[in-house]
Amino acid sequence: MRSLSVASLFTSALSLASLGHATSDTCDSSSSSDFSEKCSGTFKTKCANANYPCADISFSKSSSTSSTVDVTLSFSADNCLSTDYLSELKIIGLHSPDVSTVVLYSRNSKVYDIEDTCNWSKTLTLSLTDNCISQFQIQYDWFSAGADSQPSSWTYASSYDYLIDCVVLLLLLLLILSPHLLFKI
């Protein structure tokens, strides 16, 4: 699998897709094969400047229609704790014909769809509006709802979100040219 930096991903997406500036507030609806996002700015979340583990997130596009795109999101991180400490893991803010929140793990709701907090994948159906996909978040909550207490070795926040924004969604455009890409958040 090829690894790309955030900067090279933007450069590649912009040059290959001829989309113009990545921080545009509008989407290019001129081609039904282009996937882009209504972006309010550049990629907002970087683990080096935040209090959560760095993660690799990759997307594989499986199919699309004029109004939706199916993608498999694969998540991989280092320095995770076991599910003994996890309260809830969910994908929130989805613009989907099915749901706006996908719960992958929840002690309160008794949902246990993942076994490894560091490595998991989920196929999502996302809605397209004028060939745009809106941002969403991956949210981790630890140490509550009956989960084990925070170990002294844990140096991160007890709750954090990975914001999936412009960079990831420009990646969908590149998936037309390459079926598997990977980048570091």
Span 79-95, pLDDT tens digits: 899 999 999 999 999 88
pLDDT more than 90, % of the chain: 33
**Residue with more model confidence, 136 or 45:** 136
What is the per-residue pLDDT for 140? 96
Burial (0-12, 13-18, 19+ Cβ within 10 Å), 3: exposed
What is the extent of the structural domain holding 141?
3-184
- Residue 181 pairs with which residues in a beta bridge? 59
Q: What is the total count of domains within the chain?
A: 1
Structure confidence at residue 165 (pLDDT): 66
Tens-place pLDDT, residues 161-180: 888 764 444 455 545 445 44
